[in-house]
């Protein structure tokens, strides 16, 4: 089973989105965010390559994948096979330009 590690940036973005969801929509929505994070972590730990390849990052050296949560946000990650670690690098709001995603992930 792979280990799942979140970058500080991705973890802070996730917390920001959860907090904003709580303020705008209430406890039920913020709990749904947390549940989707848990479900993502469980699945990706067992099957790191089970999510879709991220098309906007296909030209990169690393193979990035993404998981759609809350119908509009993508958890973007890559899997390091040798170390068996899933690195979560970003949470991307799909309403943003794909160019912003490319800029944020170097």
**Over 90: is that where the pLDDT of 106 sits?**
no
**Over 80: is that where the pLDDT of 52 sits?**
yes
**Over 80: is that where the pLDDT of 86 sits?**
yes
**What digits encode the pLDDT tens for the residues 6-33?**
999 999 999 999 999 999 999 999 999 9
Q: CB of 57 within 8 A of CB of 101? A: yes
Residue 33 burial (10 A CB sphere; 0-12, 13-18, 19+):
buried
pTM for the model? 0.94
String of DSSP letters for 14-52: HHHHHHHHHHHH-HHHHHHHHHHHHHHHHHHHH-TT-SE
């Amino acid at each position: 089973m792979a280990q799942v590690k979140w970058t500080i940036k991705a973890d802070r973005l996730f917390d920001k989105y959860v907090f904003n969801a709580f303020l705008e929509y209430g406890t039920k929505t913020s709990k749904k965010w947390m549940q989707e994070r848990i479900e993502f972590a469980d699945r990706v730990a067992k099957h790191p390559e089970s999510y879709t390849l991220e098309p906007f990052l296909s030209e990169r050296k690393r193979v990035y994948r993404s998981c759609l949560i809350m119908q509009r946000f993508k958890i973007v990650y890559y899997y390091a096979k040798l170390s068996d670690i899933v690195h979560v690098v970003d949470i991307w709001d799909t309403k943003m330009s794909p160019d912003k995603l490319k800029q944020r992930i170097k």
